[in-house]
Homo-oligomer: A and B are copies of this chain.
Amino acid sequence: MIVECTADADPRSVQRLVDHLRSRGKLVHWVHGPQPVLVCPDERDLDPRELQAWPGVQRVIPIRHAFQLASRDYRPEGTKIRVGDIRIGDGEPVLIAGPCAIESRTQLLETAHAVREAGAHMFRAGAFKPRTSPYSFQGLGFEGLTLLAEVRAETGLPVVTEVMAPEEVPLVAEVADILQIGTRNMQNFSLLRAVARQPKPVLLKRGMSATIEEWLLAAEYVMAYGNFSVILCERGIRTFERMTRNTLDINAVPVAKRLSHLPVLADPSHGTGEAAYVIPVARAAIAAGADGLLVEVHVRPEEAWSDGRQSLTPEAFARMVREVRAVSRALRMIQ
């Protein structure tokens, strides 16, 4: 159950409500945002009408899931997240493209111009790279962030980049328009709390073997600690199939859209691991209702330092843009 207070509610009166609920043996989590929000996951024996009557209470919303703030019950109309002029979750698919890793100024600028021209709304590139082996290229780090800031200034494209450690959040948040939590960190709870305590939107990739419920509960961590701008991203799960790097869980798109009000993107690059399959799976994700795509594009995939195999060329990306737009337009026209 969620108890939303008015923005001007008297904190003492909110505290009294908290004390009251606790005295009845309930766990209460107070989210300190622009307006006080109380989360009370166990709603047995609580009467919404009684709580509604407390001073400062605006709305009382029963929730049917373990995740509360992330549940569609809380915001049936869906959430739109604004980044500059772009609104994620607003019908038009948002296309975020760029290389896996920042390799150099030239590579970055060249790719950014190419994807912008092809129709990308935002740019993505990794300065900090989570790599399975300590001996693989780990990203350019803060030097990469500087390059990213430059590209952002020059192309006007908002940027998405991954953050891997709580202590790096402030610096990454200075440059990035959206902070990405990678698949390996979906349950890195101290990192989730760190990105919750800054205002930039958070793109939360599904853990490669996380259930949809665990994914929504990870989003709940970010929201419970104060940041309601969470964008979900399905990026493929780990299965027994070996022809593809991961198995993009297409079901997860309508499931997450139905259970949660948060926008849902898909990443067909990691979801397939092979450039030849990225475009059809990108079309599928949009057809399934995804609010946008996160796609790896490299000006010369065969020279990429990482993930070259799954990167589109700018030309292929342009074709993808045309096709996903055709799908999206056709569906909006008949609905």
Contacts and interface: CB of A to CB of B under 8 A. Distances in A.
Contacts of A244: 251, 255
A214 B134 CA distance: 11
Given A224-B135, A322-B334, A330-B326, A213 B250 contact: no
Contacts of A88: none
A284 B288 CA distance: 5
A243 B287 contact: no
A217 B225 CA distance: 33
Nearest to A240: B238
A187 interface: yes
Nearest to A222: B134
A317 to B, nearest CB: 15
Contact of A288 (B29, B280, B289): B280
Given A130-B189, A220-B134, A330-B329, A254 B240 contact: no
A221 B32 CA distance: 38
Given A280-B254, A334-B322, A243 B188 contact: no
B239 A254 contact: no
Contact of A240 (B211, B284, B326, B327): B211
B283 A285 contact: no
Copies in the complex: 4
B255 A238 contact: no
Nearest to A252: B241
A188 to B, nearest CB: 5
A289 B329 CA distance: 18
A165 interface: yes
A262 interface: no
B287 A272 contact: no
Contacts of A243: 211-213, 251, 255, 259
A132 interface: yes
Contacts of A41: 133, 135
Interchain residue pairs A-B with the least CB separation, the first 10: A209-B209, A330-B330, A287-B287, A165-B190, A284-B284, A284-B288, A250-B250, A283-B287, A254-B280, A184-B187
Interface of A: 27, 29, 39, 41, 66-68, 130-135, 164-167, 184-185, 187-191, 208-209, 211-214, 217, 220-221, 224-225, 237-244, 247-255, 258-259, 271-272, 276-277, 280-281, 283-289, 322-323, 326-327, 329-331, 333-334
29 contacts: A29-B135, A66-B133, A68-B135, A134-B221, A164-B190, A165-B166, A165-B190, A166-B166, A167-B167, A184-B187, A188-B191, A209-B240, A211-B243, A212-B241, A212-B243, A213-B242, A239-B247, A239-B249, A241-B249, A243-B251, A248-B250, A248-B251, A251-B271, A251-B272, A258-B276, A283-B288, A287-B327, A323-B334, A326-B334
